Amino acid sequence: MVSLDDVATRAGVSKSTASRVLNNRGYLSQKTIMKVQKAVQELNYQPNELARNLKKKRSGTIGLLVPDIEYPFYSKLISHIESELYNRDIKLMLCNSSRNNSKELQRLQAFQRNKVDGLILCDYGLEPSSYQGLNFPVVCIDRYVQKGMSYVASDHRMGGTLAANCLIENGCREVIHIAYETKVEAPWAERHIAFSKILKERGVICHTVEMDTYRSYENFEKNCNSLADLLKKYPYTDGFFGSDLWAVVAVKTALKLGYKIPKDFKIIGYDGTILSEITTPSITTICQPIDKIAFWAVDTICKLLEDDPVQSCEVRMRVELMKRETTY
């Protein structure tokens, strides 16, 4: 088995210098770095990761807890977070709570048993006290948990505002608005509040209906039927706002009922996932900066693990209106 001593000998440097190169520590000349890297390749040296992590008192793993692994927003977020961690040579332990509080608690316990270095949290239906006993730093995405815990979210108030103004500019006078848990104190709920408020101020009728935005895959046909019932109940509806997944439901339902999109019925989605691009007609949507959210979450959790950690902070990121074929 090739050892670090073998690498140092082949490269013509001391063992400590070879170690510094492999751990990216301290100033080293480019010539020295190249010699060590060449020796590593020639000898096919594989560092003893377990021993290295034990020395650092780290597992080299970050946990990620999401509420629904199939939901397009989280699927894309997971991909970006995994990529960011990979670039930093950190492993990912991914858990899905299925929005079940009992399962979420079990997953938190699993993270502790597996001694993850930190946790990126996207799901927390539990009481704040459930998170206080965690023995690792936590960064939250799109949720408030407790004071002093860093979180990042899109500027959802801006998102709701952009969507409302777009439908108003398109001449909409009566809109169906699919929302989820609007009374929950969370950043994402702000888009629903802003959207409804602006339409009301501009004299546009807004039918806000609370629906499960996560399980639209499982209940796709059921949701199509529910929306068809709403359109029959409110026959003068000429606008729609919901998640990208619900926007797909709106497209299918409206076309089936004989609506012409966007002439008779304007649709705006939310998230900016691949669904808004591949649906015909393509869907106007509010794009969340999912890649930037992932980078910030990973960068912050890594900084919290450093000797001189950053202070807790709250970050809001700008969203963008992407106009496509379901609006003018």
CA distance 75 to 68: 8
pLDDT at position 31: 87
pLDDT in tens, 174-215: 999 999 877 777 888 899 999 999 999 999 999 999 987 665
pLDDT grade for 146, boundaries at 50, 70 and 90: confident
Let me know if 144 is exposed, middle or buried by CB neighbors in 10 A (0-12, 13-18, 19+): middle
CA distance 183 to 190: 10
pLDDT in tens, 296-323: 999 999 988 886 566 778 899 999 999 9
Tell me if the pTM is above 0.85: no
pLDDT in tens, 210-235: 987 665 567 889 999 999 999 999 99
pLDDT at position 180: 82
Domains, the chain, with CATH or none:
4-47 (no CATH), 59-154+291-318 (3.40.50.2300), 156-288 (3.40.50.2300)
Mean pLDDT of 147-176: 95
CA 150 from chain centre, in angstroms, equals 15
pLDDT grade for 118, boundaries at 50, 70 and 90: very high
Backbone angles phi, psi at 48, to 5 degrees: -75, 90
CA distance 76 to 274: 9
Question: 71: closest CA among 156, 170, 188?
Answer: 188
pLDDT at position 125: 76
pLDDT at position 17: 87
pLDDT at position 29: 86
Q: Which carries the bigger pLDDT value, residue 314 or residue 293?
A: 293
Q: What is the dihedral of CA 167, 172, 173, 178, to 10 degrees?
A: -50
Task: Give the pairing of strands 284-287 and 266-271.
Answer: parallel
pLDDT at position 309: 61
pLDDT in tens, 23-55: 776 678 888 888 888 888 888 887 765 455 545
Dihedral sign for Cα atoms in the order 326, 187, 158, 164: positive
**Strand boundaries in 137-179, DSSP class E:** 138-141, 151-154, 174-179
